[in-house]
Amino acid sequence: MAKTREIKRRMKAVSNIERITKTMQMIATARFQAALRVVTQSQAYAQKIRELVGELAAAQGGEEGSVSHPLLRRAETPQRHVLLALTSQRGLCGAYNTNVLRAAMAFHRQQADGAVDLEVVGKKGMAYFQFNGIAVSRHHDHIGDKPQLADVEQLASDHIKAFTNGQCDGVHVAYMGFETIARQAPRVQTLLPLADPGAASDGAERGGQVAASYDYSPDPQSLLNELLPVTVKTQLYQCFNEAVLGEHVSRMIAMKNATDSASKMSRQLALRFNRARQASITTELTEIVSGAQSLE
């Protein structure tokens, strides 16, 4: 009887866990769908910005290296880098944070010739670096689960200012890039210096697109001076959006696996409970028959 009572308590506990994980899976699914809409919309905007910058670069000169801007400055021997790691505020999302932090640490080890200033978004990344004794220069704890454009723009402006003032030679972002629902890959994207917009425009022409001729007012250089900082802010905001989307996907998959495991364990416990109850009934019947036979 004691064994069946213990199995019944375990069945109740597993059933409660299954209900909790099922609820968390449904919440993660709803948040994933909302985040997917944001990523889709921001991707279209970022793509249009890149195309416009490429057209302006082609209109200014067309030859590689003709565009000059402080955000395109590339140091011959980079000495100081800024690495921004985008992690989650909460756990229960599988190997999401582990993969992002592994990519960040791999980049950190590669920069043996230069110093790396670590900046972290999310409590999980901060806890990881503190546990391993790695110094973190800035922790952006004001950016929560839903990054706001104003906060991301302020962060990008700080990095732009530091880069143009020569305080760092490169700004990089470690995050979980979203490809499909079944595939997310950790990336370390170089935010600054920006890629050469002239090369992007040449690639578009080689892709078969016909370059249109425009009259610009003001001149292309003035427009580039305005659009290149916008490009940096847009890229960083896109990184944040994809990181949030990857977190929701990872949590959705992790909670589904946990729900399936709990359901499988419930079936196994039910089978054990039935066997234990049948064994208990058989034992009681045997004792009754034995007692009746001893009285004859």
Paired with 138 in beta bridges are 119
Q: Name the band, by pLDDT with cuts 50, 70 and 90, for residue 44.
A: confident
- What pTM value is reported for the model? 0.85
pLDDT at 176: 95
Which structure tokens are listed for 158? 């700080």
Q: What is the pLDDT of residue 59?
A: 73
Mean pLDDT of 203-231: 70
Report all structural domains of the chain as residue ranges with CATH numbers, in order of start: 27-253 (3.40.1380.10)
Report d(CA 105, CA 114) in Å as an integer: 14
Grade residue 64 by pLDDT with cuts at 50, 70 and 90.
very low
Cβ neighbours of 291 (radius 10 Å): 9
- Assess contact for 121 and 88: CB atoms under 8 A: no
Q: What are the pLDDT digits (tens) for 251-267?
A: 999 999 999 999 999 99
- Contact assessment for residue 125 and residue 101, using Cβ atoms and an 8 Å cutoff: yes
| pLDDT (tens digit per residue) in 148-197 | 999 999 999 999 999 999 899 999 999 999 888 778 899 999 999 988 77
Q: Say yes or no to pLDDT of 244 above 90.
A: yes
Q: Residue 199: what pLDDT?
A: 61
Q: Which positions ≥6 away from 54 have C-beta within 8 Å?
A: 197, 198, 200, 201, 204
Q: Per this entry, what is the length of the chain?
A: 296
Dihedral sign computed on CA atoms, order 114, 156, 162, 194: positive
pLDDT above 50 (res 278): yes
pLDDT tens digit sequence for 24-39? 999 999 999 999 999 9
**CA 92, CA 44: separation in Å to the nearest integer?**
31
3-state secondary structure of 139: strand
More confident residue, 121 or 47: 121
- Are 118 and 83 in contact by the 8 Å Cβ rule? The answer is yes
